[in-house]
Amino acid sequence: MKKRVLLINCGMMVATYINTELKNNDEFELWGSSTYENHGKYIFENYIDSLPNMNEENFIEVLNNIIKEYNFKFIMAEHDDLVLFLQENKEKINATIVSSDYETALLSRYKSKTYEKLKKYDFIPKTYKPNEVKSFPVFIKKDNDQGARHAYKIEDEKQLELYITSEPNMIICEYLPGEEVGIDCFTDKNRNLLFCNPRVVENMLAGIDIHARRIKITEEIKHIAEILNKEINFRGNWFFQIKKDKNGKFKLLEIASRLSSSFGINRSLDVNLPLMALKDFDNQNVNYLFNQYADIEVDQQFFARYILDIKYNEVYIDFESCFKEKIDTSFIMYLYQCVNKNKKINLLTENKDIAIKYLKNKKISENLFDNIIQIDQNNVKQSIEKDSILLSNNDKLKNCFKDKIYCYSTNDVELLLDWKS
């Protein structure tokens, strides 16, 4: 029987990658949960939306009831405040929290605590009290936030006073003008740093690295990672952000005891970080080999998932307008989704011999289709049943049936894809 894993706050972008990495796993069964309906509903086959907010009084009681009802063994969370809350209350929660302990979560949440803990090392940036700032620019950021949120470059005293008085819990740091790098790490239950992969942060949006490029690890980056791993009790996934000062030396921006929003870049190396963490917290030995190449870029974009309130049993494909010299792979993906869902697939064609020859040439099996139906103007309407979908790029053909069935072009096939399956 698979071991069940509950991912809380499953509508976040990072949860999309976790779902991709774990949804077909033979050992662990991933479930998503949310405190309100969000994107998780569209991508998680197993989804629970009845969890209260962590700040509500009954959160732990409801969580434990869900754990008992569904037999969850592990809990995963990928927001700093939630990780901190779960670790603070782990003795009350009847499942294993897959993250570093409470002290590490607390240290990771507050930059002031991180800098104080590591102040003897030269990769910690200089910090100032407001009356200690003698030259500009400086950089200020909120103590308990992450990424680029509530972080500002300050050019003069007036601007500094404005931000310090208007926003609480701000830290004043030296300004770091150079390259920014994020490093995804994994530490096992024996405190061994097994994985350390740096990426240049080239574009950010809402605190998320939307464009990143993998770089080779340098001795400087490796040295910082090893010190962090030695000084802080990390376990499982964690990451840190560094940025070069005016002399080209890396300084620490922040640490986090969770997966980064861009951890998906490691998938290119065949490194499954969520699975490694689950195996480690299941007291298994974690071993891995990864693809040996350096040049990887990832660009993240917001995209849509759809749930259509339609029911259908059969799909009809207009061969002449849908199948071209270049195969539309999303279209083929949808056809195999129909196979998985036991939907009948019928191929409509004006010339059956030509259609079969095309399928053979493109290495598409005839057996993918339940029927290959030769049509003409006299029998086309009789060829299609109700409760069906017609896929065609021929507007004239679609207009014959729009009062009877659902019609879509191949450009719109993404509307029909079920990302939960």
CATH number assigned to the domain comprising residue 323 = 3.40.50.1000
- Percent of the chain topping pLDDT 90: 60
Q: Is the pLDDT of residue 421 over 60?
A: no
Strand pairing report for 406-408 and 388-391: parallel
Model confidence band, residue 124 (pLDDT cutoffs 50, 70, 90) = very high
Q: Measure the CA–CA gap between 373 and 389, rounded to whole angstroms.
A: 15
Residue range 291-308: mean pLDDT, rounded: 71
Decide if pLDDT at 399 tops 90.
no
Within a domain: 119? no
Classify residue 27: in a domain, yes or no: yes
What is the rounded average pLDDT for all residues in the chain? Answer: 89
Domain identity same for 24 and 11: yes
pLDDT at 269 (0 to 100)? 83
What stretch of H or E contains 389? strand 388-391
- Which region among 71-85, 145-159, 320-334 has the lowest average model confidence (pLDDT)? 145-159
pLDDT at 276: 96
Cis peptide before 137 (omega within 30 of 0): yes
**How many other CB atoms sit within 10 Å of the CB of residue 35?**
17
pLDDT in tens, 35-77: 877 778 888 889 998 899 999 999 999 999 999 999 999 999 9
Domain co-membership, 340 together with 379: yes
Q: Count up the domains in the chain and report the number.
A: 4
Higher pLDDT, 47 or 293: 47
Phi, psi (deg, nearest 5) at residue 391:
-105, 115
Same domain for 183 and 230, yes or no, is: yes
Specify if 307 maps to a domain. no
- Concatenated DSSP letters of 180-216: EEEEEEEE-TT--EEEEEEEEEEEEETTEEEEEEE-P
Q: Residue 16 belongs to a domain with what CATH number? A: 3.40.50.20
Query: How many angstroms from the chain centroid is the CA of residue 420?
Result: 14
**Average pLDDT estimate for 392-415:** 83
* Residue 373 to residue 315: CA distance in whole angstroms: 12
362 and 250 fall within a common domain: no
Q: Out of 236-245, 274-283, 306-315, which region has the weakest mean confidence (pLDDT)?
A: 306-315
Integer Cα distance of 261 and 15 in angstroms: 9
- The answer to whether 148 touches 178, Cβ cutoff 8 Å, is no
| 61 assigned to some structural domain | yes
Least confident of 38-52, 97-111, 179-193, 285-299: 285-299
Q: Are residues 168 and 182 in the same domain?
A: no
Q: What is the rounded distance in angstroms from the CA atom of residue 120 to the CA atom of residue 156?
A: 29
- Measured distance CA(380)–CA(389) in Å, rounded: 14
Q: Are residues 185 and 291 in the same domain?
A: yes
* Same domain? 263 vs 181: yes
Most confident listed range (167-176, 258-267, 283-292, 380-389): 167-176
Clarify whether residues 335 and 222 are in a common domain.
no
The count of other CB atoms within 10 Å of the CB of residue 97 is 20
- Do 150 and 192 have their domain in common? no
Residues 78 and 167 in one domain: no
CB contact set of 47 (below 8 Å; sequence gap of 6+): 10, 31, 32, 33, 34, 40, 41, 420
- Structural domain harbouring 271: 108-112+177-299
Q: Round to whole Å and give the CA distance between 175 and 314.
A: 62
Place of tokens 């339940």: 370
What is the pLDDT confidence band of residue 206, given thresholds at 50, 70 and 90? Answer: low
pTM of the predicted model, to two decimals?
0.84
**pLDDT for res 379:** 64
Taking the C-alpha atoms of residue 92 and residue 95, their distance in angstroms, rounded to an integer, is 9
Identify how many contiguous H helices and E strands the chain contains and give both numbers: 13, 20
